[in-house]
Structure 1
Amino acid sequence: MTFSDRPASRRTVLTGLAAATVAAPFLGQLAASAPAYAGTENDLYDSNTELYTSTEHPVAEGTDYGRRYRRHEQLDRYLSKPSAPPKTAVMAIHGGQIERGTSELCLAIAGYDPADVEKPLVTQGFHDYWMFEGMRSVDNRELHVSSVNCDDHVARGIAASHLNVLSLHGCQYSQLGMPEKMVWPSVSDPKLVVVGGLNTVFRAALVTELNQAGFPAVDAFAPEYAENLRNYAGGITTNICNRTATGAGAQLEITEDMRRSLFGPQVTDFDWKSGRLATWDNARFRGFTDACRRAIATVEAGQVIL
């Protein structure tokens, strides 16, 4: 039985909430150094805390970057039966103009209209979410903080109080170093999703649902890919997707070719927020987000809160 297979006790969930409060750094606290991972060595800031407080490379919230989150109210009113807390949160820690398309996907998977966060897309099955979004017209890559160094206290608090986190990322197909004999699906059409994170059940559900829906996806831990995809596997315990109440979560590395294909037919539609918000509502985008939501439902169905 894996960690993610075990039923979670209510004490485990409450302990996670308490741990989030104790461990989460506040402004002025710098994160401890973390191993280089998926571009860490190229980051201008060693943590979110450093980004928020840097005097050497100052940035302004609301101009350079923004943060959005939602936590749904849920009450346990009954003495006679348990009421399970929210189990899954969705994150886009490099959203906006940093890894384009991930904010819109995050909101839709959570159950909300990417163009109007107050407008539900679904009638039930909403998920909490957290996003850090680049807002510049250029140089948004400078705002990138690696997953293992994400120390925003709200992000960590949300992760620690959920059994699952699905963290969304963007990459280039050429970065993945896929085996030459496994170029997927073809050299001219490199649309691919790499599924990582330490929750094996979650990974399997995502790979299955995405592939069945027509979106090629591979498990980063599969023997034929593990060596090439080790930097995109989300296999470090300090990765924000694994800072859950169970110590395991999932992440998607979505190639730009795949992300572009989920929006409008014109290249420029994808490049800017206005274009993405004008073109997200199509069958392909909804098919991708629905597949992710089905995978979440599968994982949650096997997680019993005692």
Structure 2
Amino acid sequence: MTSTNRRTVLTALATAAVGGPLLGGIGATAAHATGANDLYSSNTDLYTRLAGKEGTDFVRRYRRHEQFDNARGASSAYGRTAILALHGGGIEGGTSELCLGIAGYDPATLVATGGPVFDYWMFEAIRSTNNADLHVTSKNCDDKVALSIAAANLNVVSLHGCTAAQAGAPVSRPEAVVVGGLNGTLKSLLHDALRDAGFQTIDGSSEPDLAGVEPANICNRTLLAEGGQLEITTELRKAMFTVNTIAGRATSTTTVYHAFVAAVRDAIARLEASGGDQIIL
């Protein structure tokens, strides 16, 4: 994992703020914070109406790690943490690459980068235009693999993109991440780790549309019925890549990307080591 200090991150964010225009429209349109503007009522609806379009309009990627428990005296064969990106590719640009990085994989090569690896699932829109049309809001995600991965793990970190206005970020500092979800411990750890790394965090309780507190939201469909959600502003995601296109992001990650990934992985490590509800009977 790349080590990046707080000063480096803040400098990189300041540089990105005065950089050129976005390439490839990374979150160029406002994210659908609710399902009000969705064209599809669920993933199943999307898959049905776009039958034959997988591989041209959209793709799904996931990885599940082998688990087994042969111990007779105890039972502990359950997943710990899964990473989700429901709106990857050209919908909320950068969330696919973040999903892979936080799960412990290089987004370009898919090779494990060292340290723990986590289950992951992502939906990616890959059209040349109009990718936002393929957005399905989190509470309506009914992809069977995605649901099964969430339900097989104690924790979920779900990654999303939003605008600075949706996040309630100040105009003078639009690079921000809204931390939400029903898992209060995970939220606190994410706030602490991201702030320590130099990122501006905003609590989801102040932005109801981004709070991720609905039980039906897939981030909360875990073994513990609670999880975490990160809504990352366009400006912050812009700073994570030098080539902000569907094809270019995986091979153009910046120090800001690596610092964000490291911070979230640190929060997950602290959560998994915390005991308490991290052990189920």
Q: Give 1:263 shift.
A: 1.5
Letter in 1 for 2:251: A
Q: What residue number does 1:276 align with?
A: 249
What is the distance in 2 between the residues matched to 1:107 and 1:132? Answer: 12
Residues 98-148 of structure 1 deviation map (CA, whole Å, 9 limit, x = unaligned): 10000000000000010122x1111x3110000000010100001000001
Q: Is the 8 A contact 1:204 1:219 kept in 2?
A: no
Q: Give 1:231 shift.
A: 0.5
Q: What residue number does 1:92 align with?
A: 85
Q: Give 1:85 shift.
A: 2.3
Q: What residue number does 1:28 align with?
A: none
What is the distance in 2 between the residues matched to 1:82 and 1:243? Answer: 22
> After alignment, is 69-78 or 37-46 more displaced?
37-46
DSSP-derived class of the 2:83 partner = strand
Q: What residue number does 1:116 align with?
A: 109
What is the distance in 2 between the residues matched to 1:175 and 1:209? Answer: 23
In the TM superposition, 1:1-306 aligns within 5 A as: 38-54=33-49, 60-117=53-110, 119-122=111-114, 124-176=115-167, 178=168, 183-184=169-170, 187-221=171-205, 226=206, 229-264=207-242, 269-270=243-244, 272-280=245-253, 282-301=254-273, 302=275, 303-306=278-281
DSSP-derived class of the 1:69 partner = strand
Q: Is the 8 A contact 1:189 1:257 kept in 2?
A: no
What is the distance in 2 between the residues matched to 1:275 and 1:189? Answer: 26
DSSP-derived class of the 1:155 partner = helix
Q: Give 1:58 shift.
A: 5.7
TM-score by length of 1: 0.77
What is the distance in 1 between the residues matched to 2:215 and 2:34? Answer: 17
What is the distance in 1 between the residues matched to 2:191 and 2:85? Answer: 19
What is the distance in 2 between the residues matched to 1:120 and 1:287? Answer: 17
Structure 2: runs of 5 or more not aligned: 1-31
What is the distance in 2 between the residues matched to 1:284 and 1:149? Answer: 31
What is the distance in 1 between the residues matched to 2:184 and 2:76? Answer: 26
Letter in 1 for 2:84: M
Residues 224-275 of structure 1 deviation map (CA, whole Å, 9 limit, x = unaligned): xx2xx000000111001011111100100000100111112xxxx11x1222
> Percent of aligned positions with the same letter in both sequences?
51
Q: What residue number does 1:5 align with?
A: none
Q: What residue number does 1:22 align with?
A: none
Structure 1: runs of 5 or more not aligned: 1-36
Cα RMSD (Å): 1.5
Letter in 2 for 1:77: N
DSSP-derived class of the 2:166 partner = helix
Q: Give 1:80 shift.
A: 3.9
DSSP-derived class of the 1:67 partner = strand
Residues 152-192 of structure 1 deviation map (CA, whole Å, 9 limit, x = unaligned): 0111111111111100000111223x2xxxx54xx243000
Aligned length: 247
Structure number with greater Rg is: 1
